[in-house]
Structure 1
């Protein structure tokens, strides 16, 4: 990328016609990749800034990554999927939200924030899947930016990955649509949703709508994706007993078997005026989750400081099934998807 070429100009070259849209009169298009359902006139971009209307056809990102790493499945975090294994994690650039505490702002806000510098690296779907195989990673995950807005590229990769026996995953803000979930269902096994709170006014400050995310969670479970939920607990933003209970009760109403990860906020990006999350706050959140009836509540982002809250226990007999320390699996006693003591089925993707 030369000094005179902008990132946006480079990315317009790395596109193809999308599949998640409809053509409308006057060369306008309606995009279905995320819950914004952008109505895009000719020559304009959607909210995400990476899907744009060229001559009445929606152009979408393809053929590159903005971030690429091999890391533990537990880091995604998935605690009920292939414990102790690796995931090849790739991301593109752009997001349909603009969260002030984004941990991946270098990639997600690359088209909004001049300080976010993450040049695209050209790559093919075959090369990414070969890389996963080389590293012994049984999973390929779309993450680091919002995968919904780059779904056509993810599906191109996942088609190759699934043909070669790999699992596939989305790490997402959950701002979906029925159309995009139908499009993803044949190709995506696991779906992590970042449920950022239960206050619609706060959600709108981040660029989203709470109802869209709740509808997406319901649909994901209904359509039988494997789903895990993460809430980054931010002091003074979403950490009240009332709001945590609303989240937990909603999740329990969808399925008591939904794993809920309550994780620690660390000052980052633009949100520097809130305190880091104390372990005691996460213990309180976990207890609220259990009281709501959730079978699997986990405390994260503070490895070694949360005791048994990282472990998986049988909800029926309380046998210790998976013992964790951070991203390390110390013990895995699950046998054929069940508790070895009482044979209760433990939901997840175990092989």
Structure 2
């Protein structure tokens, strides 16, 4: 069992942060997420875990609140090292307050009394040792919002680079140019949740809709491997209008960005909302294809969504990667390309130095 920490203990697991702009009278602006919180001495950011102590920004450091070895497909990354393992680690806190959060026990620390403050002191070497010991090829920051703990992630990823490990974020995408520049030398992969396509809904979630759209554009333009997920929730974001708007936005950034439309299951404060029907996922996938997206996947209903868990060559239609849920049943890619027509499939197929395959 992990020890339960007092707030004082949690605040002790910090170090001076890098992502801020100094102001007069000890005030500062935190630049780790799209809120850009202006903090007076003694104030906490929206995330609750970054705070101003006597004019210095202190940020979470040198602990984990969760560590788990998972299939890379669970993140989900479908165009990254298919069938490999990803060591996932997380801290505490989030700049959003989603009522359906599936990681609320760690993300809503200091915001919800039912959430945990438990953690374990950890070093970058220990995380990388664990990844290597279990044969993981990727280290992924997840379980809470990684943008707000980027100083720690960069420290971990610097060590990961020396071990030949791929690095990734599972993020809400509520970023800033400053944080993206900060992580760029050390981060390979970005999975971003595009939760809906509505400014008012994003405000209720605790974020800024346009900051998320801008971050998606910037992440792709900066060369991070990018995959987008929309958790399709009945009665919330499953209208034709909203799903089509999401699909068209992603297509405007790149037709090669994989879009995962995944099924909701009751969780956290939305226990009375039913699961997403398979038909809804199929409808969303059809809209993605109609918008020109080449890779649209339906998730969280393994074996129920036809071939929509598979990667299919957009050139000749050959099935290249066959999946059942998070399990890869067959991988027919040859050096990141279709063996029949030779079309290059965008992704990270062979490791940290492979780069993103160009579209043919």
* Shorter-chain TM-score tier: over 0.9
SS of 1:285's equivalent? helix
* Distance in 1, Cα, partners of 2:184 & 2:62: 22
Instruction: Name the CA distance, whole Å, in 1 between partners of 2:53 and 2:115.
Output: 26
CA RMSD in angstroms comes to: 1.1
Corresponding position of 2:256: 257
Mapping 1:2-21, distance limit 5 Å: 6=6, 8-21=7-20
Q: Which runs of 4+ in 1 moved over 4 A?
A: none
Structure 2 residue 163 is the aligned partner of structure 1 residue 194: no
Specify every segment of 5 or more residues in structure 2 that has no aligned partner in the other structure, as ranges. Answer: 351-360
Partner SS state of residue 299, structure 1: strand
Deviation readout 1:245-273 (Å, 9 max, x if unpaired): 00000000000000000000001000123
Secondary structure in 1 matching 2:105: helix
TM-score under structure 2 normalisation? Answer: 0.95
The residue correspondences of 1:120-139 to structure 2 (distance < 5 A) are 120-139=119-138
Instruction: Name the CA distance, whole Å, in 2 between partners of 1:110 and 1:26.
Output: 29
Distance in 1, Cα, partners of 2:271 & 2:123: 38
State the partner residue of 2:356.
Answer: none
CA gap of 1:128–1:348, structure 2 versus 1, over 3 A, is same
Q: Secondary structure at the match of 1:59?
A: strand
SS at match of 1:310: coil
Alignment of 1:203-218 (within 5 A): 203-218=202-217
Change (3 A) 1:171 1:30: same
Structure 2 residue aligned with 1:247: 246
In the TM superposition, residue 118 of structure 1 has moved relative to its aligned partner by 4.7
Counterpart of 2:165?
A: 166
How many residues align? The count is: 349
Match for residue 101 of structure 2? 102
Deviates more, 1:268-277 or 1:223-232: 268-277
Tell me the alpha carbon deviations over residues 10-59 of structure 1, each in whole angstroms, 9 at most, x when there is no partner.
Answer: 21100000001121100001111000001000011010000000111100
Change (3 A) 1:118 1:44: closer
Matches within 5 A, 1:308-347: 308-347=307-346
Matched, 1:34 2:25: no
Q: Determine the structure 2 residue equivalent to 1:350.
A: 349
Q: Secondary structure at the match of 2:244?
A: helix
Matched, 1:88 2:92: no
**1:337 Cα offset (Å):** 1.2
Q: Which moved more, 1:144-153 or 1:115-124?
A: 115-124
Instruction: Return the TM-score normalized by structure 1.
Output: 0.98
Q: How many angstroms apart in 2 are the aligned matches of 1:22 and 1:316?
A: 48
Mapped to 1, the partners of 2:271 and 2:165 lie a distance apart of 39
1:281 aligned residue:
280
Which consecutive unaligned segments of at least 5 residues does structure 1 have?
Answer: none
Q: CA deviation at 1:306?
A: 1.2
In 2, the alpha carbon distance for the partners of 1:166 and 1:208 equals 31
Question: What residue in structure 1 maps to residue 354 of structure 2?
Answer: none
Tell me what 1:119 maps to.
Answer: 118
User: What is the rounded CA distance, in whole Å, between the counterparts of 2:231 and 2:311 in structure 1?
Assistant: 20
CA shift for structure 1 position 316: 1.1
SS of equivalent to 2:187: coil
Task: Say whether residues 1:78 and 2:73 are aligned partners.
Answer: no
Residues 128-176 of structure 1 deviation map (CA, whole Å, 9 limit, x = unaligned): 0000000000100000000000000000000000111000000000000
